[in-house]
Structure 1
Amino acid sequence: MTDFTKELDARNLNCPLPILRTKKALADLNSGDVLKIVATDPGAVKDFEAFAKQTGNELLEHGEAGGEFTFFMKKG
Protein backbone atom coordinates (compact mmCIF):
# COMPACT_ATOMS: atom_id res chain seq x y z
CA MET A 1 0.00 0.00 0.00
CA THR A 2 1.20 3.45 -0.90
CA ASP A 3 1.62 6.10 1.78
CA PHE A 4 -0.60 9.11 1.18
CA THR A 5 -1.01 12.64 2.50
CA LYS A 6 -4.75 13.08 2.02
CA GLU A 7 -7.75 10.92 1.09
CA LEU A 8 -10.63 11.92 -1.18
CA ASP A 9 -13.94 10.05 -1.12
CA ALA A 10 -15.41 10.27 -4.63
CA ARG A 11 -17.80 7.32 -4.22
CA ASN A 12 -21.19 7.60 -5.91
CA LEU A 13 -20.02 10.53 -8.04
CA ASN A 14 -20.15 10.31 -11.82
CA CYS A 15 -17.85 11.88 -14.38
CA PRO A 16 -16.63 14.58 -14.29
CA LEU A 17 -17.06 15.08 -10.53
CA PRO A 18 -14.31 12.69 -9.34
CA ILE A 19 -11.77 14.50 -11.55
CA LEU A 20 -12.99 17.96 -10.51
CA ARG A 21 -12.80 17.06 -6.81
CA THR A 22 -9.34 15.56 -7.36
CA LYS A 23 -8.15 18.72 -9.09
CA LYS A 24 -9.39 20.82 -6.16
CA ALA A 25 -7.81 18.50 -3.56
CA LEU A 26 -4.45 18.47 -5.39
CA ALA A 27 -4.42 22.28 -5.38
CA ASP A 28 -4.27 22.16 -1.57
CA LEU A 29 -1.29 19.79 -1.53
CA ASN A 30 2.43 20.41 -1.91
CA SER A 31 4.52 19.07 -4.76
CA GLY A 32 5.37 15.42 -4.06
CA ASP A 33 2.35 14.83 -1.79
CA VAL A 34 0.17 11.81 -2.57
CA LEU A 35 -3.63 11.91 -2.79
CA LYS A 36 -5.63 8.70 -2.37
CA ILE A 37 -8.93 8.74 -4.27
CA VAL A 38 -11.71 6.18 -3.88
CA ALA A 39 -14.34 6.18 -6.65
CA THR A 40 -17.16 3.93 -7.84
CA ASP A 41 -17.51 5.25 -11.42
CA PRO A 42 -16.16 2.55 -13.80
CA GLY A 43 -15.10 5.29 -16.21
CA ALA A 44 -12.78 6.72 -13.57
CA VAL A 45 -9.87 4.47 -14.61
CA LYS A 46 -9.48 6.03 -18.06
CA ASP A 47 -10.41 9.46 -16.70
CA PHE A 48 -7.61 9.41 -14.11
CA GLU A 49 -5.07 8.07 -16.61
CA ALA A 50 -5.92 10.94 -18.98
CA PHE A 51 -5.95 13.48 -16.13
CA ALA A 52 -2.46 12.41 -15.03
CA LYS A 53 -1.08 12.79 -18.58
CA GLN A 54 -2.71 16.20 -19.09
CA THR A 55 -1.72 17.72 -15.73
CA GLY A 56 1.75 16.29 -15.06
CA ASN A 57 0.61 14.64 -11.85
CA GLU A 58 1.77 11.03 -11.53
CA LEU A 59 -0.71 8.18 -11.19
CA LEU A 60 1.34 5.92 -8.92
CA GLU A 61 -1.05 2.99 -8.81
CA HIS A 62 -4.69 2.05 -9.09
CA GLY A 63 -6.78 -0.99 -8.38
CA GLU A 64 -10.33 -2.25 -8.09
CA ALA A 65 -12.00 -4.27 -5.36
CA GLY A 66 -15.69 -4.81 -4.72
CA GLY A 67 -16.79 -2.20 -7.24
CA GLU A 68 -14.56 0.49 -5.75
CA PHE A 69 -11.60 1.95 -7.60
CA THR A 70 -8.64 3.27 -5.64
CA PHE A 71 -6.10 5.66 -7.12
CA PHE A 72 -2.89 7.11 -5.71
CA MET A 73 -1.88 10.33 -7.43
CA LYS A 74 1.35 12.20 -6.70
CA LYS A 75 1.23 15.94 -7.20
CA GLY A 76 3.78 17.11 -9.76
Structure 2
Amino acid sequence: MSEITANRTLDCSGMNCPLPILKTKKEVDQMQSGEILKMISTDSGSANDMTSWANRTGHKIVGSSTEGGTYTFYIQKS
Protein backbone atom coordinates (compact mmCIF):
# COMPACT_ATOMS: atom_id res chain seq x y z
CA MET A 1 0.00 0.00 0.00
CA SER A 2 1.37 3.40 -0.91
CA GLU A 3 1.73 5.92 1.90
CA ILE A 4 -1.46 7.84 2.60
CA THR A 5 -1.09 11.32 4.06
CA ALA A 6 -3.53 11.90 6.90
CA ASN A 7 -4.73 15.32 8.01
CA ARG A 8 -5.33 14.04 11.56
CA THR A 9 -4.44 11.02 13.66
CA LEU A 10 -6.62 9.43 16.34
CA ASP A 11 -5.10 6.76 18.61
CA CYS A 12 -7.78 4.52 20.09
CA SER A 13 -5.35 1.85 21.31
CA GLY A 14 -6.58 0.03 24.41
CA MET A 15 -10.20 1.07 23.88
CA ASN A 16 -12.98 -1.44 23.32
CA CYS A 17 -16.15 -1.19 21.26
CA PRO A 18 -17.94 1.17 20.96
CA LEU A 19 -15.34 3.80 21.99
CA PRO A 20 -13.19 3.65 18.81
CA ILE A 21 -16.25 4.28 16.63
CA LEU A 22 -17.61 7.03 18.89
CA LYS A 23 -14.27 8.83 19.01
CA THR A 24 -13.81 8.41 15.24
CA LYS A 25 -17.24 9.92 14.59
CA LYS A 26 -16.48 12.87 16.87
CA GLU A 27 -13.14 13.50 15.14
CA VAL A 28 -14.56 13.16 11.60
CA ASP A 29 -17.38 15.56 12.48
CA GLN A 30 -14.74 18.26 13.08
CA MET A 31 -13.01 17.71 9.73
CA GLN A 32 -13.59 19.22 6.29
CA SER A 33 -14.91 17.14 3.39
CA GLY A 34 -12.06 15.30 1.66
CA GLU A 35 -9.73 15.29 4.66
CA ILE A 36 -8.29 11.99 5.86
CA LEU A 37 -8.22 10.65 9.42
CA LYS A 38 -5.73 7.98 10.46
CA MET A 39 -7.35 5.92 13.21
CA ILE A 40 -5.34 3.37 15.19
CA SER A 41 -7.07 0.67 17.23
CA THR A 42 -6.22 -2.53 19.10
CA ASP A 43 -9.84 -3.72 19.25
CA SER A 44 -10.14 -6.85 17.10
CA GLY A 45 -13.71 -5.90 16.21
CA SER A 46 -12.54 -2.66 14.62
CA ALA A 47 -12.24 -4.10 11.11
CA ASN A 48 -15.94 -4.99 10.91
CA ASP A 49 -17.05 -1.98 12.95
CA MET A 50 -15.20 0.58 10.81
CA THR A 51 -16.42 -0.95 7.54
CA SER A 52 -20.03 -0.93 8.75
CA TRP A 53 -19.74 2.62 10.10
CA ALA A 54 -18.19 3.95 6.88
CA ASN A 55 -20.89 2.30 4.74
CA ARG A 56 -23.61 3.71 6.98
CA THR A 57 -22.24 7.27 7.08
CA GLY A 58 -20.96 7.59 3.50
CA HIS A 59 -17.33 8.15 4.52
CA LYS A 60 -14.70 6.14 2.64
CA ILE A 61 -11.99 3.88 4.01
CA VAL A 62 -9.16 4.66 1.59
CA GLY A 63 -6.68 2.31 3.24
CA SER A 64 -6.25 -0.07 6.14
CA SER A 65 -3.66 -2.42 7.59
CA THR A 66 -3.23 -4.89 10.41
CA GLU A 67 0.09 -5.52 12.09
CA GLY A 68 0.71 -7.34 15.35
CA GLY A 69 -2.77 -6.74 16.77
CA THR A 70 -2.85 -3.08 15.72
CA TYR A 71 -5.45 -2.02 13.17
CA THR A 72 -4.94 1.17 11.20
CA PHE A 73 -7.62 2.81 9.10
CA TYR A 74 -7.50 5.82 6.79
CA ILE A 75 -10.97 7.37 6.60
CA GLN A 76 -11.79 10.09 4.09
CA LYS A 77 -14.65 12.36 5.12
CA SER A 78 -17.39 12.54 2.51
Task: Please state which band the TM-score falls in when normalised by the shorter chain.
Answer: over 0.9
Q: CA deviation at 1:10?
A: 0.4
Equivalent residue number for residue 17 of structure 1 = 19
Equivalent residue number for residue 66 of structure 2 = 64
How far apart in 1 are the matches of 2:4 and 2:44? 22
Aligned pair count? Answer: 76
Amino acid of the structure 1 residue aligned with 2:47: V
Provide, for residues 43-66 of structure 1, a one-character-per-residue CA deviation record: whole Å limited to 9, x for no partner.
000000000000000011111011
Of all paired residues, the percent bearing the same amino acid is: 37
Which stretches of structure 1, 4 residues or more, deviate above 3 A after TM superposition?
none
Equivalent residue number for residue 51 of structure 2 = 49
How far apart in 2 are the matches of 1:8 and 1:26? 10
Secondary structure, counterpart of 2:40 in structure 1:
strand
Extract unaligned runs of 5+ from structure 2. none
Secondary structure, counterpart of 2:54 in structure 1:
helix
- TM-score, normalisation: structure 2: 0.96
- TM-score, normalisation: structure 1: 0.98
